[in-house]
């Protein structure tokens, strides 16, 4: 028996007890309790009759290198990352917005070189954009841009390149990020991990020898 079915039976029993109290008990206080029991039981049955839906966390977009065949594939992946894992849309707008907490990204892919975009994403404090949406002296935006290649966002180089490809396509600019660049970045990352795995035990052995 499911948990919902068990709760429905309990609710029906509560209603039955309430009806019996109203029919056979003359004491006013007990009759009030019986009526309250009937109402609560009825509400419980109504609530349990509503279909229950499981609340699942949003799917995490992963960078599938094997699916990248063209720059448009990069831009498609970058768009998904922009609105999900990258959390870019939480602060940035695409088009004018008075409520945006960071600069408007509309047309940004046509205005800035991909190298500058990469630096802005990984070293956001290298150049501070000011807010000109109001009269008077421009000021900094209220939200501080995080390093998206570090925790808690932690985008890989491939994911950052794909976001840049999306920004370029969104701006009507030809996508300058090549699939070969993604492959090369992935290979460099793999080589770095292999070197780190080899260097770690060697470093430990050298440290042990030095301590003797």
* Predicted local distance difference test score (pLDDT) of residue 163: 93
> Residue written as tokens 């046509």?
110
* Cα-only R_g, the chain: 30
Task: Tell me the pTM.
Answer: 0.59
CA 162 to each of CA 67, 73, 76, 94: distance values in angstroms, whole numbers, following the listed order: 12, 9, 8, 17
Average pLDDT value for the chain = 78
Least confident residue range of 30-39, 74-83, 144-153, 166-175: 30-39
Average pLDDT over residues 100-106: 83
Tell me: pLDDT of 51 over 70. no
Tell me: pLDDT of 65 over 70. no
* Predicted local distance difference test score (pLDDT) of residue 164: 93
Whether the ω angle into residue 152 lies within 30 degrees of 0, i.e. cis, is yes
CA distance 164 to 79: 9
Instruction: Using alpha carbons, select from 80, 11, 90 the residue that is nearest to residue 46.
Output: 11
* Predicted local distance difference test score (pLDDT) of residue 36: 87
CA distance 20 to 16: 6
**Tokens representing residue 24 in the block:** 């056979």
Instruction: Using alpha carbons, select from 4, 156, 169 the residue that is nearest to residue 79.
Output: 169
DSSP β-bridge partners for residue 130: 140
Q: Assign 3-state DSSP to the chain and report helix, strand, coil percentages, each to 5.
A: 60, 0, 40
Instruction: Convert the pLDDT of each residue in 176-204 to its tens digit.
Output: 988 877 777 656 554 543 454 444 444 45
């Amino acid at each position: 028996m499911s948990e919902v079915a068990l709760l429905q039976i309990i609710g029906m029993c509560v209603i039955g007890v309430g009806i019996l109290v109203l029919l056979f008990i003359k004491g006013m206080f007990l009759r009030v309790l019986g009526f309250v029991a009937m109402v609560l039981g009825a509400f419980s049955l109504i609530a349990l009759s509503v279909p229950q839906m499981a609340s699942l966390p949003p799917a995490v977009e992963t960078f599938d290198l094997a699916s990248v065949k063209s720059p448009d594939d990069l831009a498609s992946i970058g768009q998904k990352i922009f609105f999900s894992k990258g959390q870019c849309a939480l602060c940035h707008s695409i088009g004018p917005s008075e409520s945006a907490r960071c600069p408007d990204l509309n047309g940004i892919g046509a205005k800035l070189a991909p190298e500058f975009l990469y630096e802005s994403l990984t070293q956001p404090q290298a150049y501070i954009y000011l807010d000109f949406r109001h009269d008077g002296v421009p000021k900094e935006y209220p939200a501080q841009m995080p390093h998206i290649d570090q925790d808690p966002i932690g985008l890989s180089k491939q994911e950052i390149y794909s976001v840049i490809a999306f920004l370029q396509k969104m701006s009507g600019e030809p996508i300058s990020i090549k699939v070969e660049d993604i492959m090369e970045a992935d290979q460099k990352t793999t080589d770095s991990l292999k070197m780190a795995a080899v260097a770690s035990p060697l470093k430990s052995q050298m440290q042990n020898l030095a301590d003797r």
